[in-house]
Amino acid sequence: MTVHCKSKNDDLGFHTIMFGQSYVFSFKPIVFPIFIATLFFCSFTWPQDPNLHYLDVYDAKNDDCRDCSWKINVDGGCLNGECRSFNKNIQLMDARA
């Protein structure tokens, strides 16, 4: 699997992850006096399916984990037992970059 994670301010680059391996990154949330604005999203591709699959992996408005550990598969991702499908609106994802 190839993973590419980024936020509006940080592009973490492309990483190839083999089955059973992990990819780890850390960041400090952007905090404004009124709100927290950090959003990280990732795209995923597999050799058998080169289409981009997008997933919000951290949204400060909705996620309160300090150590977010996702498990990704071809259908989406699971965080702490809550599974989400990949985002369907690719234009929205491109606009975030």
Instruction: Please determine, for residue 25, whether its predicted confidence score (pLDDT) is greater than 90.
Output: no
The per-residue pLDDT for range 34-49, each reduced to its tens digit, is 666 788 899 999 999 8
Residue 2 has pLDDT above 70, yes or no: yes
Q: Which residue from 3, 39, 35 is spatially nearest to 21, judged by alpha carbons?
A: 3
- Domains held by the chain: number: 1
Write out the residue range of the structural domain in which residue 59 sits: 2-96
Return the higher-pLDDT residue of 35 and 68: 68
CB atoms within 10 A of CB 18: 6
Inter-residue contact 78 to 86 (CB < 8 Å) = no
